[in-house]
Structure formats: structure tokens, C-alpha cells
């Protein structure tokens, strides 16, 4: 076996200090993704700093200078978060996104922070015998002309066509969540849209966080739309599969007219894709199937597909329309 160091810090600050002090160190949360990578040889850190026992495991409502909402500790397990009564009633999209991911056992183990930082399931990223720019910068992208069914159609580059696998992240993108991050020079707050990045010419970097920055909490602001929100994941099998595409939708209506709408997509990009152009096309309009389909097409003018991924366009049209129309029915 490979020898590596494993440490359990006493506090978040100590954890940050440990990782900052050692090149190639990594935080270990629930381990549902990182431990696979250790076995597959995708990553070989010299030091693992296990933050899973730090007391970052509470869910609390906040009402203060930063507004009203719900603060999720980074170590709250996915299953606990999905079952929380306030999450279920005020942010249903979060509970539904979580429950559409993984399996019961994995959700019991996986953490809120770790869920956001899981890495692509692109088969070439996970197979160390094939080139992959994300795993080995400069080696090439095998997915461009290979197994492409799950490839990105928005914001991809010639260096990488991987998609982000998280369902929770798609829900949080729709709700304008804020990620609270602790680094060597203190705490900072990252708007959710700015957490993950597009691949560009350096797909090895998934997020805007420094290697020594630790997610300690996620804040979800309360909104009227958030209370009428849901998540629809389209996948080959009914359970335990990554999204072909997924839709996080949140809706606030004034009569039949859209007052506020949030649309985020999974399975289409290197990051959860907030469909702001589609949202803008719908605000102030009557919510109809045709209007949603047209708004989706507006967002997708920038999409680039291949024979293998062309299906995602009609799938996004249909699933986004279904998601928003069902929310509208709930409201009426």
C-alpha cells in the first residue's frame, strides 16, 4: 500500500493550517468520492486531513445583516439535510435534489461540503490508463471523441467536456446560495455561481477555492420562489444514476404571470448551469409550455452538441417545461 499521513484536526482553523502547510494535502469529508479516487489512482495525496468529525453539522435559521435563510454546516450528512423539516417545507428543491442522488448508504455518509466538491464521473477521468486533461493536464481529452453520452453541451472547451455530477449543487445554484469558506487569512463568502468554474484551458481546477480553503457552511437565502421549488432528474434508470440532464426550478407567480423564476441545469456543463437568459425571457410573461420551450431555446443558443449529446436539447426543453408547469399547478 502507499504510505500517507492521516490527521484529525481539532478545529476548522487547525484543519486549514494543516492543509496549508503541506503541498498536495487534501481535506477528507465523507470520502464517498475521494476514497474511490485513492483506490483508482486518480489522486495520491501525501496528507489527508479528516474534517468529517469537526462540529460543522448543524442546520440553523439565520435572520440578520445578511438577510433571512438557512445555514447548513458543511458536515451535515446528505440524508439528514434531505430529511430536515425546514428544508423540506421551505426549500423543497434541496431535499428533492439530494434524494435523487446516490443511494441511502452513500447519502448517510456524504457531507454537504463534500457533495459540492465531488469530481466529474467522466469515465476517462476515472481511468488512469487513458489521457485526461483534468487528471493529467496536457495529456489530452479522451471524451471529446469517445464515450460522450454524459458530455457537456454548455461552457465546455476543447480541453474538457466533463459535467459536474452533483444534484445538490444544481439546487443551490437555483437558490442563490452562498458558500462560507475558511482559509489561512480568514473567512470569505462565495456566491454559489462563483464557486465552480468552467474548464477553459485548465480543467484540472474545478472551483475557485484555494487548495487550503475549507467550506464550513452554506447559506440559503429565503425567497418566495424557493418555497415553490422542485428538482427533476432525467436519467436512464429510476434510481442510482447520474443525470442525463436535471432541472432545479423555483417559481413565484403573480396570477398567471411569472414574478420570479429560477432555473438551474445539471448534466450540461462543468458547473451547475444557472439558466439566467431563460429566466429573463420568462419574467413578466404568462407561464405556458410554449413560453418555457422558447426560453430554454434562448438559453441554448450557446449550446454545442454532437451526435451523442444532441438529445440533451429536446430533453432540456421537455424537462424544464414539465418542471415549471407542475410548479405552477402547485401554486394555483
Partner 1 sequence: MTEQVVSPVRVRSVGRRLDRADGREKVTGAATYAFEHGEADGVVDPLHVWLVQSTVAKGRVARVDSAAALSHPEVEAVIDHTNAPRLEDTDDRELAILQDDAVGFRGQIVALVLAGSAEAAREGAALVDVSYDVEPHEAELREDNATYRPDSVNPDMETDTEDGDVDAALEQAEVVVDQTYRTPYEHNNPLEPHATIAWWDTVDGRSTLSMFDSTQGVHGVVQSVAPMFGLEPDQMRVRAPYVGGGFGSKGEAHAHVVAAALAARTTNGRPVKLAVTRQQMFALTGYRTATISHVRLGARADGTLTAIEHAVKEQSSAIKEYAEQTASPTRMMYAAPNRRTSHRLALLDVAVPSWMRAPGEMPGMFAHEVAMDELAAACGLDPIELRVRNEPDLDPETGKPFNNRRLLECLQRGAERFDWASRPSEARSLQEGDWWVGTGVAAATYPAMKMPGNSARVRSLGEGRYAVAIGSVDIGTGARTVLTQIAADALEVEPDAIDLAIADSRLPSASVAGGSSGTSSWGTAIVAAAQLFRADHGEAPDAGVETTASAADDPAADQYAFHSFGAVFAEARVNRWTGEIRVPRLHGVYSVGRVINPMTARSQFVGGLVMGLSAGLFEESYRDPRFGHVVTQDLATYHVASHADVLDVGAEWLEESDEAFTPMGSRGVGEIGIVGTAAAVANAAYHATGTRVRSLPLTADLFLD
Least gap, CB of 315 to partner 1 (angstroms): 6
Taking contact as CB under 8 A, which single stretch among the options 22-30, 79-87, 141-149, 154-162 is the one that binds partner 1? Answer: 141-149
- C-alpha torsion angle, residues 107, 111, 114, 115 (rounded to 10): 40
Least gap, CB of 180 to partner 1 (angstroms): 31
Q: Could you tell me the sign of the dihedral formed by the alpha carbons of 236, 239, 242, 246, in that order?
A: positive
Least gap, CB of 314 to partner 1 (angstroms): 4
With contact defined as beta carbons under 8 Å apart, do 263 and 275 qualify? yes
| Residue of 11, 66, 239, 306 interacting with partner 1 (CB under 8 A) | 239
DSSP output for 272-329 = -EE-HHHHHHHTTSB--HHHHHHHHHHHGGG----TTTTTHHHHHHHHHHHHHHHHHH
Residue 321 as a binder of partner 1 (CB under 8 A): the answer is yes
Least gap, CB of 31 to partner 1 (angstroms): 16
Residue 237, classified by CB atoms within 10 Å of its CB into exposed (0-12), middle (13-18) or buried (19+), is exposed
- 169-228 binders of partner 1 (CB under 8 A): none
Distance, CA of 10 to chain centre: 28
Helices (H) then strands (E): counts for the chain: 12, 12
Shorter beta-carbon distance to partner 1: residue 62 or 311: 311
Residue 94 as a binder of partner 1 (CB under 8 A): the answer is no
Nearest CA to 232 out of 121, 326, 124 is that of 326
Residue 292 as a binder of partner 1 (CB under 8 A): the answer is no
Residue 1 as a binder of partner 1 (CB under 8 A): the answer is yes
Shorter beta-carbon distance to partner 1: residue 10 or 307: 307
With contact defined as beta carbons under 8 Å apart, do 140 and 131 qualify? yes
Residue 248 as a binder of partner 1 (CB under 8 A): the answer is no
Mask: binding to partner 1, 9-48, rule CB under 8 A, as x and -? --------------------------------x-------
Least gap, CB of 110 to partner 1 (angstroms): 14
* # chain residues binding partner 1, by CB under 8 A: 32
With contact defined as beta carbons under 8 Å apart, do 169 and 116 qualify? yes
Residue 332 as a binder of partner 1 (CB under 8 A): the answer is no
**Cα–Cα distance, 267 to 208 (Å, whole number):** 20
**What residues make contact with partner 1 under the rule CB under 8 A?**
1-2, 41, 121, 123-124, 126-127, 129-130, 142, 145-147, 232, 234-242, 244, 311, 314-315, 318-319, 321-322
Amino acid at each position: 500500500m502507499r504510505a500517507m499521513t492521516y490527521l484529525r484536526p481539532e478545529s476548522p482553523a487547525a484543519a486549514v493550517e494543516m492543509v496549508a502547510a503541506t503541498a498536495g494535502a487534501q481535506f477528507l469529508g465523507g470520502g464517498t468520492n475521494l476514497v474511490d479516487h485513492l483506490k483508482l489512482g486518480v489522486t495520491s495525496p501525501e496528507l489527508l486531513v479528516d474534517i468529517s468529525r469537526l462540529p460543522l453539522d448543524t442546520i440553523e435559521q439565520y435572520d440578520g445583516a445578511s438577510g433571512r435563510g438557512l445555514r447548513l454546516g458543511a458536515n451535515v450528512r446528505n440524508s439528514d439535510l434531505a430529511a430536515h423539516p425546514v428544508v423540506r417545507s421551505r426549500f423543497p428543491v434541496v431535499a428533492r435534489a439530494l434524494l435523487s442522488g446516490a443511494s441511502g448508504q452513500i447519502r448517510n455518509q456524504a457531507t454537504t461540503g463534500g457533495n459540492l466538491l465531488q469530481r466529474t464521473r467522466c469515465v476517462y477521468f476515472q481511468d488512469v490508463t487513458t489521457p485526461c486533461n483534468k487528471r493529467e493536464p496536457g495529456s489530452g481529452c479522451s471524451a471529446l471523441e469517445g464515450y460522450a453520452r454524459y458530455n457537456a453541451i454548455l461552457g465546455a472547451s476543447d480541453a474538457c467536456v466533463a459535467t459536474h455530477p452533483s444534484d445538490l449543487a444544481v439546487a443551490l445554484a437555483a437558490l442563490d446560495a452562498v458558500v462560507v469558506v475558511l482559509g489561512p487569512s480568514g473567512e470569505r463568502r462565495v456566491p454559489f455561481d462563483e464557486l465552480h468554474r468552467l474548464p477553459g484551458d485548465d480543467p484540472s481546477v474545478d472551483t475557485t477555492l484555494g487548495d487550503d480553503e475549507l467550506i464550513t457552511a452554506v447559506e440559503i437565502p429565503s425567497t418566495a420562489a424557493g418555497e415553490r421549488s422542485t428538482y427533476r432528474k432525467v436519467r436512464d434508470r429510476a434510481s442510482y444514476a447520474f443525470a442525463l440532464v436535471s432541472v432545479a426550478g423555483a417559481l413565484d407567480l403573480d396570477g398567471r404571470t411569472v414574478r420570479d423564476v429560477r432555473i438551474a441545469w445539471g448534466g450540461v456543463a462543468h458547473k451547475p448551469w444557472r439558466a439566467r437568459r431563460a429566466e429573463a425571457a420568462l419574467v413578466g410573461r404568462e407561464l405556458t409550455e410554449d413560453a418555457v420551450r422558447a426560453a430554454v431555446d434562448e438559453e441554448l443558443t450557446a449550446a454545442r452538441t454532437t451526435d451523442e449529446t444532441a438529445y440533451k436539447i429536446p430533453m432540456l426543453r421537455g424537462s424544464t417545461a414539465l418542471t415549471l408547469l407542475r410548479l405552477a399547478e402547485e401554486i394555483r
